[in-house]
Structure 1
Amino acid sequence: MEAADRPASRLSEGDFWALEGLKAQLVEAGEGAADGGVLFTGAVRLPAGERYEWQHGALTEGLLDADWTEAAEAFAALGHPVRLRLLREILGGRRTAAELAEPAEVGTTGQIYHHLRQLTGAGWLHTTGRGRHEVPPGRVVPLLVALSAARG
């Protein structure tokens, strides 16, 4: 059975095929990869039918040497419960402000637009025209990875 066909919401703890692949890539990369690296990847089908496959890897040295403050805006945008709810609704198929206003918990239209601007400014959303919003394809898997990491 392929990983995508497994009924569990979590892959088995013994499934280290991604880690083993990362280690092999680090060995091939040679001395520059001596401190290791990280890899995140995903194959996702959203409730509205869109499919995304994505992966990203980075060497530890580059991550530790980078200016982490550059990530603050992206993390801050995710730090509000209403923004997370809006992202979940958008991934679920609600795309316009009117559709997003249907759940009572998200606030007024003005508040929704405020949160949409914050998410757009941080790169978690973009407007596709006619007031429709979507999570950019290159952000779907990273968003789900961030949520998975936050859950532990």
Structure 2
Amino acid sequence: MDADAQGAIEQRLADLEAEVARLSARFEEPAPIEPAAEQSSEDPLWFVNELGRRAPGAVMMAGAVETPEGPIRWQYGLYAEKILSEDWSEHARSLEALGHPARLELARQIMRGVHTTAELLQLEHLASSGQLYHHLRQLVSAGWLVSPRRGYYEVPGARVVPLLVLTMIASS
């Protein structure tokens, strides 16, 4: 590789590192988002207003959830510009996995503490063990569930809030 090409690569890498540092600085060590006393009842959009102040143009999902396995504190955000520039078809498989009433009910029951195949087979939405395993495979393949041991399923911590957010969106 000649010196000009090497220099161009090094400059591009430096530019990328600077951009990552700039974006990271916008999200590093944020103070917990808590409504001020005057905001709690007077500002129903306190979260949106705080997000606009801290990261204009960002879209976030966040949650502080108590689960049978323990507390989940999770947040994730991207800039709208980045989301709009991506190929959304890449997300079809993940969303499709949730597109069946039995799979949604499985995910809900697992989040509520029903984890074993024996317990899941008792659910009304399933006519057979074959159906159960088919739906579980779909959810595991899409990353909505994991099976840390045979016959036991759980929602990974990083998927709890997104699953609740998707359900919340669908119900609005």
User: Which deviations, in whole Å up to 9, do the C-alpha atoms of 1:114-135 show, x marking residues without a partner?
Assistant: 0000000101001011321000
Match of 1:15 in 2: 44
- The aligned amino acid for 1:113 is Y
In the alignment, does 2:133 pair up with 1:86? no
The higher relative CO (CA closer than 8 Å, separation ≥ 6) is in: 1
Q: Percentage identity across aligned positions? A: 44
1:112 to 92, 110, 132: 132
- Which position in structure 2 is the counterpart of 1:39? 60
Runs of 4+ in 1 over 6 A off after TM superposition: none
The change in CA–CA distance for 1:55 and 1:108 in structure 2 (over 3 A counts) is same
The AA in structure 2 aligned to 1:77 is A
Contact kept, 8 Å, 1:85 with 1:106, in 2: the verdict is no
CA contact (8 A) 1:86 1:106 kept: no
Candidates 161, 167, 170, aligned match of 1:141: 161
What does residue 24 of structure 1 align with? 53
For residue 103 of structure 1, give the secondary structure of its aligned residue in structure 2: coil
**TM-score computed with the length of structure 2 as normaliser:** 0.72
CA RMSD after TM alignment = 1.9
Answer yes or no: is the 8 Å Cα contact 1:90–1:133 preserved in 2.
yes
Any gaps of 5 or more consecutive residues in structure 1?
Answer: 4-10, 28-35
SS of the residue aligned with 1:106?
coil
Deviation at 1:49, TM superposition (A): 5.0
Question: Compared with structure 1, are the counterparts of its residues 122 and 40 closer, same or farther at alpha carbon in structure 2 (3 Å cutoff)?
Answer: same
User: What SS does the aligned partner of 1:104 have?
Assistant: coil
Which residue type is aligned with residue 107 of structure 1?
A: A
Task: State the AA in 2 paired with 1:140.
Answer: V
- Other structure's SS at 1:149 match: helix
| TM-score, normalising length: structure 1 | 0.81
Offset of 1:96 from its aligned partner? 1.2
Q: CA deviation at 1:14?
A: 4.0
**Equivalent pairs, count:** 134
Counterpart in the other structure of 1:131: 151
Residues 44 and 65 (structure 1), Cα distance of their counterparts in 2 relative to 1, 3 Å cut: same
Alpha-carbon distance between aligned partners in 2 of 1:74 and 1:65, rounded to the nearest angstrom: 19
| 2:102 aligned with 1:100 | no
